[in-house]
Structure 1
């Protein structure tokens, strides 16, 4: 989320919470694609991470991009922490360890999405290169220890940093040492939302294997193909992972709201300041907890919107659905991730085929996939086959869905061209991480530092 909201509309009942999510419904003709991607900044000469402060810091990059783009500043207690597009949507924000994120505008096609990402990366390079800064497309920081990673000056991250160690062992790794590519997709009504949620939850481990891109930590192979996904096994299991209720045929907005109400809050905002609320759930907040800290402003839809943004299930529901299972990666995968999910979920026949493929997968089976894929990738067993076979089936369905959409670029190519990196990985039978490990063992002579020029944008 680029900036936290301060909508002060009071919450009067559960119906208001449900109506907020229902407000995302739109006709299929208005469906859009919002792509987010994160990347690690590093100094070209030393391969060290980039701090916030200084003439060659992250703040300087943001100021340069502001001057180049004319985007509006996003401030936190007077500090520049992001930029918001003046028209058309989109924002640049900072993740806790300085990971630079583009939250893309809602666009009609993957062609537009890819042009947006390429334009952003070109702008970032134009500003950062004179400062000796480059950016790395990878799912985890390959060299830096946690204590070497800078912390960005965002109030919500101060709260999270204090809270995370009390609810899991890997929360700080998630915050400071991982990157992702995500896509935000629309739904037409409650039934459509629930179906896409179920298919998305079931296929998220398959996406994790296809985009596995985090095999190195602190200069060495870490035993994973997706260390980032392994980290999520113990971040904060109250607010992350799979939702059993999403596997039920009756799942709807109210079920998600009931779950969200009982997850501890991170914060609420009053008079422009963040108030630590980690000791209470949102349900307790509505019931009067912390009333003395609300400055006369009752719990609001802005509080609810912010709370929804602090929940981390594998598929997140806000006024759209957010697919959260992929590692960060090179520029081709920034386009491939939205293409994969749009092909599966935006064409009716493809969605039916994806639903058929996964319909009888149980919660326990998907949980087992989710636990095994970070280490085994395509080799993860499933029933009488493997994730490699499931990934081939899913990509085939996605290809048919994209072909049926028939969104052509100026050269007459449809969106299936963006699936190429996935099809190459499937043809090799190796995840992107295993290809990096192969290079590490051969071309790079065991030197992880070679990943920086290899995957710098």
Structure 2
């Protein structure tokens, strides 16, 4: 199917459905896109690094251009980079995100990750800054986090506090890792979405790597996940409707239309439409642009402002994992690729979760964030479930025939002990760190 042009006017709901459906691909064309975020900190003070100045985030981005990255500017400032289908972007407080290119094999994705590490280390060393991959900032207060000069973040900063207590924490103090995967058609999308949602709490537990808040244990294995539970309920969560009989492209479009807007791009302008309705926009009644109608590019923008645990655009995004150590960044795409890109593995996973209920999953999401692999579901711990699911993922990777299964080794080691990355940090905090969380910057920096 030829994708519609982004400038095409939206004439009705069918156009929105067709835009998503145009992402359908034959299995031979399925790709893997890995995204990961990391905090940038001053090695001298351990404080977050701001945008301006000779050692700031903009200087970091400009330093990266030596590797062939092309600057992306907004209002004359460098706010992102692009190269060969990949991008380096900024989260609201200057967290650096690599949005990887869509690649065929996990080896290619992992090579991309390692190449990125070499580049950012070179620039970071020159600026005397460090990079830390954890799910939530371990020491800084919200008020201490800098803000990047991106217009969309100014709009979100104003709107977020009206829709939850932790939206600004999500924006400024959290980091995640995600993988973007393809679907063949509507039925394949639905199966992958349901498996992804059902097993997202397991991924949260396996990757739990944010036990500290403002220098002390928080009581949560993944405080990043806890923050998402109190961030704009209109656009976050587990998508209970995805398990209904009517689930498909149209049902997801109806959900997205019910989510209030954030903004609209018009040339170089970003227009604040926070809280307004895309349905009104389609009727020419949007208060921010009365008498105007949306294009498919506006629809694409709107879909980027939805933040469920699994998100649909022209591909599927798995969003439930904390950022982590470099050696584990290849494990998340391996986990989901193994489960979703092999028909036999997907069948097994789908059968495993076939009778799981949305209410159960909502409770499990909270328990996984708090207790990690010790959380219980249907009489068993998530450690038990991990030992059941990871072999399915390994078999799925083996069936692909490209020698990718070893990328699951780190997750299998976690499942073997039942100890999450957060457990390791808490043990260090109560032991060799002597209650000083700042040691995380020394031991876990890239």
User: Offset of 1:172 from its aligned partner?
Assistant: 0.4
Alignment of 1:132-151 (within 5 A): 132-151=128-147
Q: 1:351 aligns with which of 339, 346, 351?
A: 346
Instruction: Provide the residue aligned with 1:79 in structure 2.
Output: 77
Which 4+ stretches in 1 moved above 4 angstroms? none
User: Offset of 1:47 from its aligned partner?
Assistant: 0.6
1:438 correspondence with 2:433: no
Higher deviation after alignment, 13-22 or 440-449: 440-449
SS at match of 1:448: coil
Instruction: Provide the residue aligned with 1:315 in structure 2.
Output: 310
The 8 Å contact of residues 332 and 418 in structure 1, kept in 2 or not, is answered as no
Instruction: Provide the residue aligned with 1:3 in structure 2.
Output: none
Instruction: Provide the residue aligned with 2:53 in structure 1.
Output: 54
Instruction: Provide the residue aligned with 2:399 in structure 1.
Output: 404
Instruction: Provide the residue aligned with 2:286 in structure 1.
Output: 290
Structure 2 distance, partners of 1:206, 1:281, is 34
User: Offset of 1:298 from its aligned partner?
Assistant: 2.7
Q: TM-score when scaled to structure 2?
A: 0.97
The 8 Å contact of residues 240 and 312 in structure 1, kept in 2 or not, is answered as yes
- The unaligned stretches of length 5 or more in structure 1 are 1-5, 408-413
The 8 Å contact of residues 238 and 308 in structure 2, kept in 1 or not, is answered as yes
Q: 1:451 aligns with which of 428, 440, 444?
A: 440
Instruction: Provide the residue aligned with 2:237 in structure 1.
Output: 241
Structure 2 distance, partners of 1:346, 1:271, is 39
User: Offset of 1:292 from its aligned partner?
Assistant: 6.8
Structure 2 distance, partners of 1:441, 1:244, is 39
User: Offset of 1:297 from its aligned partner?
Assistant: 5.7
Instruction: Provide the residue aligned with 2:20 in structure 1.
Output: 21
The 8 Å contact of residues 273 and 288 in structure 2, kept in 1 or not, is answered as no
1:124 correspondence with 2:120: yes
Structure 2 distance, partners of 1:416, 1:230, is 31
Structure 1 distance, partners of 2:15, 2:279, is 13
Identify if the C-alpha distance between structure 1 residues 18 and 123 changes in structure 2 by more than 3 Å, giving closer, same or farther: same
The 8 Å contact of residues 280 and 289 in structure 1, kept in 2 or not, is answered as no
Q: 2:246 aligns with which of 245, 250, 257?
A: 250
What value does the CA root-mean-square deviation take over the aligned residues?
Answer: 1.3
SS at match of 2:192: helix
SS at match of 2:329: helix
1:415 correspondence with 2:410: no
Structure 2 distance, partners of 1:128, 1:17, is 42
Higher deviation after alignment, 157-166 or 426-435: 426-435
Q: TM-score when scaled to structure 1?
A: 0.95
Instruction: Provide the residue aligned with 2:329 in structure 1.
Output: 334
User: Offset of 1:45 from its aligned partner?
Assistant: 1.5
Instruction: Provide the residue aligned with 1:410 in structure 2.
Output: none
SS at match of 1:38: strand
User: How many positions carry a matched residue from both structures?
Assistant: 442
Instruction: Provide the residue aligned with 1:392 in structure 2.
Output: 387
Structure 1 distance, partners of 2:147, 2:312, is 28
SS at match of 1:187: coil
User: Offset of 1:275 from its aligned partner?
Assistant: 0.6
SS at match of 2:229: helix
Instruction: Provide the residue aligned with 1:160 in structure 2.
Output: 156
Structure 1 distance, partners of 2:398, 2:434, is 42
1:101 correspondence with 2:100: no
Q: 2:198 aligns with which of 173, 179, 202?
A: 202
- The unaligned stretches of length 5 or more in structure 2 are none
